[in-house]
Amino acid sequence: MAQFNIAHLYPDLMNLYGDRGNLICLQKRLEWRGQECRIQNVGLGQSIDFAAIDMVFMGGGSDREQGLVYADLIKRAEEFRQAIETDLPVLCICGAYQLLGQAYISADGQRLRGLGFFDFTTQGSQPRLIGNILVETELGGQTTTVVGFENHGGRTFLNDARLKPFGRVLKGYGNNGQDGFEGIKYRNLIGTYLHGPLLPKNPVVADFFIKAMAVRRGMDANITPLYDAIETFAHQQVKYKILNS
């Protein structure tokens, strides 16, 4: 039995639309496989040892919360960036995703700096892009659909050749409602606008992170399959609803 450590960054500030459910999903799917999972909450000013954790999760938040988080996270940005380059699994939702880029520019022109890990910018605009979303993605050589809920005023435009979109939008808006792409994928990092929470509705994505954690530990890449009939049925029902709405 192994113990996996997942850092939940700024849970009191970045936790919109049930994002914490992603951690509950990961924890249960590890426990069902006979592993332990420890969730470490990291708030403003609290230390984090990236070498001692197996995954980072950060949810969405408002502009004000993003500003507070940026001021704190920039102090450890280089260590975080280096961990990403060594294949640390990372899931960033909505506002956390936007923070990975160069800047967020609000609709009234105020510029909120990002961590600058990647070359993309988010422009605030109206109307907000709201609704259920269906995306097609490839994870571990397997093509799958992903369902979720998006609610964002920002339009994100990717300029970084290193990045791949998380997926192709089949229905919904995605990064900007124009180019047909959603989120980003880089090494074991996924940035996405999908709330809901994302992982319980999409066990394939949850297992992508679990496999990545195991491989990074030097463990067997063939993680134990779970009986996902209920999760798969729920996914298919949401998918059907989105396609026929």
Catalytic amino acids? 94, 195
Say which amino acid occupies 95. G
53: amino acid identity, one letter: I
d(CA 239, CA 46): 40
Reported as type and span, the H/E element at residue 243 is: helix 229-243
State the residue for tokens 């708030």. 43
Cβ proximity of 124 and 110 under 8 Å: no
Side chain identity at residue 225, one-letter code: P
Q: Given the structure tokens 């332990």, which residue do they identify?
A: 36
Helix (H) or strand (E) holding 135: strand 120-139
